[in-house]
């Protein structure tokens, strides 16, 4: 399975008054991770959209084990977990880069839609590339 | 079971270039919902914190059925779903106020921590109020 | 001059680890304010866009006098300050609803664009309504 | 004058339904820029806070010339522009990395506060480092 590893430095604007990252913001880093994975396997998401396909999130699950803090460098590991006719599932592990401590893990399920918002089968060529990312 | 219903008008800043609300932003409205439920049953979260307790999110699950759009008025229904010795679970339903269409549903699990970040039993009086909210 | 007054309750997600609202988030409330002013004078921004006009922000200025905190109810007062052939200026005052304390004041300048992103003269009928809002 | 240059890749969550970055989000990148400048000159902001000083934003000004879009790599250039007894001014230029096109420019003014929120003179040693960053 192909894996992308991306990095991000936590800013003040990501934190809340508990002194840690606000829980919704990890979902932004999930997005960063899957965008970089798609780029890595040769199908940038901007390209996917140019061809008239959209992968909106239909479900998200996220477990918060430890907190990221201001100025932490985090590492986001993303893999393609499953591939259906018109769905994709990505899995994520966010760790603190420093010591590799696992902070958050989760997954997102996506539908494949066309420009009109109709569920459609993932395009043949794109499917081939995604299958390869699953198998590699 | 006590239920809180809160309202919010979607702003431009909540949307993304797909023309709908960005998936992470619904978690902000989950937070709004549980904060208002806690206020409604008589234990505002600001009060909870003043007494030295914190309810950080330990897990979130969210299903996106339909999209909220700019200027939509949405309705967030929140209930307390479960109550453990040191955990709480809230459930949410976000609907479009106009026509009641269900957009998003989900839940969050929370730990009960003290000011030092240690898991602690929920304070007796607070537990009594929360139990009542479950039962009512 | 017509004035809109809108209200918002600060959530945890708006704050940062200094225990106060993160400075960028006030600009979200400026947006809420001008959207509600446009609705109040009879030209909802969603309507403006449906007619093919866009008012992107070309400049913002904001002074932070005091901090909004979690659970504060804030009041956003918005006025249309100036109106050019293809520009608008809105002014904002954000106060704490409780005691009327001024927290933040600022303004935004907007261009009027068509769907292709070209600067265009504000449509006659819209201009008439906006002029009235300036004069009233 | 010392200058920091930092980079960021625009995510979907930064955009709005106009298909460009939402205006408030550039202020997050201003923060990234000044945090990296402080690190570069040898006084990481986390260190500043550990010593009991805080630099909250007291004023921001921002001009939006062109729009950043999803997947754009942007470059944030930050300089320390002015230094008073208890104030700092940072200036920012955000360009598209690809072609160097200027997108946004602005500045932020900051107060120097102690842990109790009182305006205080910037600590001697920190002042020396900041003066050097101004002069270099």
On whether any CB of chain D is under 8 Å from the CB of A44, the answer is yes
Q: What is the mean pLDDT of residues D86-113?
A: 97
Number of residues that make up chain C: 136
Q: Residues with Cβ < 8 Å from C117, sequence gap 6 or more?
A: C54
Binary contact (A19, C17; C-beta < 8 A): yes
DSSP SS3 for A124: helix
The verdict on a CB contact (< 8 Å) between B45 and C71 is yes
Q: Chain D contacts of B13, Cβ < 8 Å? A: 16, 22, 24
Please list, in sequence order, all residues whose beta carbon lies within 8 angstroms of the beta carbon of residue D71, skipping any fewer than 6 positions away.
A35, A44, A45, A46, D9, D10
Burial status of residue B47 (CB atoms within 10 A of its CB: 0-12, 13-18, 19 or more): middle
In the prediction, which pLDDT does A67 show? 96
ipTM score here?
Answer: 0.96
> What residue has token string 């922000």?
C57
CA distances from D135 to A77, C53, D123, D132 (A): 42, 47, 18, 5
Q: Cβ contacts (< 8 Å) between D70 and chain B: which residues?
A: 17
Count H helices and E strands in chain A, helices first. 3, 7
Q: Is D119 an 8 Å CB contact of chain A?
A: no
Judged against a pLDDT cut of 90, whether residue C136 lies above it is answered with no
Question: With contact defined as beta carbons under 8 Å apart, do B90 and B110 qualify?
Answer: yes
Nearest CA in chain A to B26: A24
pLDDT category, B136, cuts 50, 70, 90? confident
User: Residue A49 — pLDDT band, cuts 50, 70, 90?
Assistant: very high
- In this complex, the residue of A9, A12, A32 whose CB is nearest that of residue D11 is A32
**Per-residue model confidence (pLDDT) at position C72:** 98
**pLDDT, tens digit (0-9, with 9 covering 90-100), for A10-35:** 999 999 999 999 999 999 999 999 99
Give the pLDDT score at A1.
Answer: 85
Tell me the pLDDT band of C1, cut-offs 50, 70 and 90.
confident
Q: What percent of the residues of chain B are helix, what percent strand, and what percent coil, each to the nearest 5? A: 25, 40, 35
* pTM for the whole structure: 0.97
- Does position B1 have pLDDT exceeding 90, yes or no? no
> Which pLDDT belongs to residue D1?
86
Active site residues of A: 16
Query: DSSP secondary structure string, chain D?
Result: --EEEEEEEPPGGGB-TTSSB-GGGHHHHHHHHHHHHHHHTT--HHHHHHTTEE--EEEEEEEE-S---TT-EEEEEEEEEEE-SSEEEEEEEEEETTT--EEEEEEEEEE-EETTS-B-PPPHHHHHHHHHHHH-
Across-strand partners of B92? B78, B106
D31-68 pLDDT, tens digit each: 999 999 999 999 999 999 999 999 999 999 999 999 99
Residue B74 has pLDDT above 90, yes or no: yes
Query: Which residue intervals of B2-117 are DSSP H helices?
Result: 25-40, 45-50
CA-based max dimension of chain A = 47
Q: How many CB pairs under 8 A join B and C?
A: 32
The alpha-helical segments, DSSP class H, found in B41-115 are 45-50
CA dihedral sign of residues C75, C81, C84, C89 = negative
Tell me the two tokens of residue D45.
């902001």
CB contact under 8 A, B20 and A56: yes
Half-sphere exposure of B53 (CA within 13 A, CB side): 21
Nearest CA of chain C to the CA of D112: how many Å? 13
How deeply is C54 buried, as exposed, middle or buried, from its count of CB atoms within 10 A (0-12, 13-18, 19+)? middle
**pLDDT tens-digit map of A89-117:** 999 999 999 999 999 999 999 999 999 99
Helix (H) or strand (E) holding C126: helix C124-135
Give the active site residue among D16, D71, D98, D136. Answer: D16
Among A4, A6, A8, A13, the strongest candidate for a mutation testing the D interface, having the largest count of D CBs within 10 A, is A13
Q: Which residue in D25, D54, D63 is closest to C18 by CB distance?
A: D54
Residue C11's nearest CA partner among C72, C58, C53 is C72
Please report which confidence band the pLDDT of residue D136 belongs to, taking 50, 70 and 90 as the band edges. confident
**Residue-level pLDDT at A136:** 82
Say if D56 is an interface residue toward chain C (CB within 8 Å): yes
pLDDT value at residue A131: 95
Looking at chain B, which residue has its C-alpha nearest residue D23? B13
pLDDT tens for each residue of C47-89: 999 999 999 999 999 999 999 999 999 999 999 999 999 999 9
Q: How far apart are CA B21 and CA B3, in angstroms?
A: 24
């Amino acid at each position: 399975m192909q894996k992308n590893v991306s990095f991000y430095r936590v800013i003040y604007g990501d934190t809340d008054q508990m002194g840690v990252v606000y829980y919704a913001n990890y979902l932004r880093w999930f997005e960063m991770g899957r965008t970089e994975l798609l780029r890595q396997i040769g199908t940038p998401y901007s390209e996917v959209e140019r061809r008239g396909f959209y992968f909106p999130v239909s479900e998200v699950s996220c477990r918060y084990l430890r907190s990221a803090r201001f100025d932490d460098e985090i590492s986001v590991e993303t893999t393609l977990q499953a591939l259906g006719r018109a769905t994709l599932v990505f899995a994520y592990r966010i760790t603190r880069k420093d010591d590799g401590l696992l902070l958050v893990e989760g997954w997102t399920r996506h539908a494949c839609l066309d420009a009109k918002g109709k569920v459609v089968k993932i395009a043949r060529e794109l499917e081939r590339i995604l299958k390869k990312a699953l198998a590699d």
